Structure 1
């Protein structure tokens, strides 16, 4: 297979500073966008692996009205229950009302309908709990087999246990939403870094020493430069995930690669190694 066809030509171009500069003509605009999507997807691999390992989610930030109803009284009521194979038994039903909403346990059908008229509600039934958050639609969360609140002693522990139940049901949707959000943020960062920096690189065409003749060449050059730093960010993200550090590695790495390209080529196709050394005060052999 020929090595000058896309995308092999791109991978051939990212390892050597001289090749990075020399091959700044190879990609068309469609290929440039494909490559930028690819390098952005590299950053998403550690993100996906990190989110897949999640077993809970801070639901209180998403459902502040209903989760804000939980207090010590609710903890004591649920702590007294008996939990077995995803079912809840209570010594007696309870109904705790405030001006902000209602928390109840094992109500009758008619009592449940009345409880759901509150602005916010958290209803614990025999095999599930129901969340009502303002004008949002009701959400029913089934208990898992290991669901047990008998050892929960604080409000924070109860919220965490309920968040875990909520996340088990909504994991696919939540992870997909978070992935989409992070992908959008990193993609905007990658595009801004590449196309924004290309503007300044394009301005070097006014210098008689620069061989860069078009904005597309500048973008292609920076697309070549960003490849290797993105792979480095991927590897470090697999070792220790931190999306902020990964983006910093990508951006700083891009700048470093561009400086190395400038050092070796002076952005000029005719510059030789000896001329570069001479330009920087070195001795030519």
Structure 2
């Protein structure tokens, strides 16, 4: 199998500081972008696995005004209901009005239309509840078979229960949105780290010892450097997920790999190991 073709040449280049420096010419710009997308995608594997474990979403942060309507009086009202197989039954309808909106239940169609004129509203019907938040579109959330508010004891538990119902319906959209946001953040971080650092590396071309002659070489070199730290960040993320730690491992690892490259090559193709040590002021041993 040929190891000098893309992408095998990249994987061949990331394990040794000498290979990292020697193979700084191998990738073209398109291949560099593909590799950086791949490296970024490695970080997304633990993110995706972590999000797939989610069973609720903190809706109070997303819909603060409508969820802010929930207080102990709402809890007491909903505890009076009877819940069975995803249905809610109450002896009578109710409307609780506050200065910022309305919480109601078991309304007729005409009453629902009237309540929805309020700026914020929560409406509990037989098979679903509706959320209106300011000028946002109305959300209708069907109850799951295990929906039961008879055991909630306070407003926080009620908010959590409703958040779970909302998340079950919107799971795919929510996870996709979160993944896109995190992917964008990590991609910007990876690109900035690589292309930004390459500028300073490119400036070493003015040194008589440096063999780096172009900006693309600098980017390619750093792309090689970031490969192994990204794999390590992936493993750590699979063991204990924390995106901040993963990004820190990637960035610090890049710097460490670059230092190893400098130590072993001095960014010069012609220096052998003993000459490098000599230039660094280290005694060479036979």
Class of the TM-score when normalised by the shorter of the 2 chains: over 0.9
1:24 maps to 2:24: yes
- 1:116-137 residue CA offsets vs partner (Å, 9 max, x unmatched): 1111110000000011111111
CA distance in 2, matches of 1:95, 1:215: 67
CA distance in 1, matches of 2:260, 2:224: 13
Q: CA deviation at 1:112?
A: 1.2
1:228 maps to 2:228: yes
- The range that moved more, 269-278 or 225-234, is 269-278
Report 1:95-106 matches (<5 A). Answer: 95-106=95-106
- 1:189-230 residue CA offsets vs partner (Å, 9 max, x unmatched): 000000000000001000000000000000000000000000
CA distance in 1, matches of 2:109, 2:189: 52
1:206 maps to 2:202: no
1:114 maps to 2:136: no
CA distance in 2, matches of 1:191, 1:133: 37
Q: What is residue 282 of structure 1 aligned with on the other side? A: 283
CA distance in 2, matches of 1:22, 1:91: 79
CA distance in 2, matches of 1:275, 1:157: 69
Q: RMSD between aligned alpha carbons?
A: 0.8
- The range that moved more, 173-182 or 106-115, is 106-115
Give 3-state SS (helix, strand or coil) of 2:129's partner: strand
Residues 278, 284 of structure 1: 8 Å contact kept: no
User: What stretches of structure 1 of length at least 5 have no aligned partner?
Assistant: none
**4+ runs deviating over 3 angstroms:** none
1:265 maps to 2:270: no
What's the TM-score once normalised by structure 2's chain length? 0.98
CA distance in 2, matches of 1:283, 1:52: 54
- 1:215-260 residue CA offsets vs partner (Å, 9 max, x unmatched): 0000000000000000000000000000000000000000000000
Q: What is residue 8 of structure 1 aligned with on the other side? A: 8
Q: What is residue 44 of structure 2 aligned with on the other side? A: 44
- 1:159-204 residue CA offsets vs partner (Å, 9 max, x unmatched): 0000000000011111111100000000000000000000000010
Give 3-state SS (helix, strand or coil) of 2:92's partner: coil
Q: CA deviation at 1:279?
A: 2.6
1:195 maps to 2:204: no
Q: What is residue 89 of structure 1 aligned with on the other side? A: 89
User: What stretches of structure 2 of length at least 5 have no aligned partner?
Assistant: none
Q: CA deviation at 1:277?
A: 2.3
Q: CA deviation at 1:284?
A: 2.8
Residues 15, 228 of structure 1: 8 Å contact kept: yes
